[in-house]
Amino acid sequence: MGFKMLTDSTPGCNNLQLPSEKQHRQYKDVSVSNSELTSITELTSNPSASISSEDYPSQQPTLTVILAAIQKLEEDMNSRFNALDSKLEQVQTSLTDHAARIADLEGCATDHESRITVLEKRCEKLTEINKATKHKLIDLESRSRRSNIKISGLPEKAEKGNPTQFMAEFLPQLLGINNFPSGLKVDRVHHIGAQPSSARLRTMIAKLHHFLEKEKILKLARLQTPLSFNGTRISNYPDFSPEIMEQRRAFDGVKKKLRDAGIKHGLIFPARLIFTFGSEQKTFQDPADAETYIDRFINVAAATALQRT
């Protein structure tokens, strides 16, 4: 490379100051040959040019180690990324499968919901039908028992092998023959339950031919209580189905309050409480309503009467 000579006639050279002799000597000490300058220029202009071990022998081990480490790191990263790719593919496959299964489940849930709705409506209808059927069944059973009467307290084998004939003669004798001028017609009689091994007496149930005869027997039994036969107390009561008995037992607490208050009361079939308070007759089908009325009016009236006395 050449240098252009600067003269006084060169523009801008009027103010140019030439280096002093001392500076010139310093510049000579750091002078670079043309061959070295050419090598530096090639390296800077081509950074990817390889550096030979002859030029830099002391840096050869360091560069080799770095290159080996980089290559190992690259291989390790590649293997890890390959493993991640495989796992991601598995996850993606699993997610796709789960999405398909969830879609199927959602479809099934929708179908089940519609079917359950239909079943609920059907169940409600069947519940109503069952309730009505049960009510009819209880009514039919009660009608079949309406002429029955239960007798407890009779000793075993008192009927002497003919319970129907025995009962047709026993009840008029117990309640008064004059109350049965035409006699008593009994269709059939049997014991309830198996024959006991102890001295416990079994209840007998008799089906009378006429319903009014049964009502007469129960009325006479209430008027002539207590009844006895050969020193044993005899009880007569109607034959109700278990459901009717449960409904009637629900009024036991209310009936006790009425007895304590001295108020006559009774139960009308199937399970209706009837009593007279003052000049008003009351009828209740719900024991809770009857108890509320008694606590509100009858007990208050009784307490007021006690205060006046």
pTM: 0.56
C-alpha 173 chain-centroid distance: 61
pLDDT on residue 49: 44
- Residue 133, token pair as written in the block: 């059927």
Q: Which of 168, 176, 231, 177 is nearest to 204 (CA)?
A: 168
DSSP structure class, residue 200: P
In degrees, rounded to 5, the angle at the alpha carbon of residue 43 between the alpha carbons of residues 37 and 46 is 135
Q: Which of 175, 243, 246, 248 is nearest to 214 (CA)?
A: 175
Q: Which CATH superfamily is domain 146-193+200-239 in?
A: L1 transposable element, RRM domain (3.30.70.1820)
Query: Residue 130 burial (CB < 10 Å; 0-12/13-18/19+)?
Result: exposed
Q: For the chain, count helices (H), then strands (E).
A: 9, 8
Domain segments of the chain: what residues? 60-144, 146-193+200-239, 240-309
* CATH classification for the domain delimited by 240-309, as one of 3.30.470.30, 3.30.250.20, 3.65.10.10, 3.40.640.10: 3.30.250.20
Spell out the per-residue pLDDT of the chain, length 309, in tens.
443 444 444 444 444 444 455 444 444 444 444 444 444 444 444 444 444 445 545 556 788 888 888 988 988 898 888 889 889 999 999 999 999 999 999 999 999 999 999 999 999 999 999 999 999 999 999 999 999 999 998 888 888 889 999 999 999 999 999 999 999 999 999 988 877 766 678 899 999 999 999 999 999 999 998 898 888 899 998 999 999 999 999 999 999 999 988 898 999 988 999 999 888 899 999 999 999 999 888 866 655 554 455
Asked whether the beta carbons of 147 and 206 are under 8 A apart, the reply is no
Q: Which of 145, 193, 153 is nearest to 171 (CA)?
A: 153
CA distances 135 to 122, 247, 287, Å, are 20, 13, 19
Q: Could you write out the three-class secondary structure of 117-144?
A: HHHHHHHHHHHHHHHHHHHHHHHHHHHH
Between CA 119 and CA 126 the distance in angstroms is: 10
Between CA 200 and CA 194 the distance in angstroms is: 11
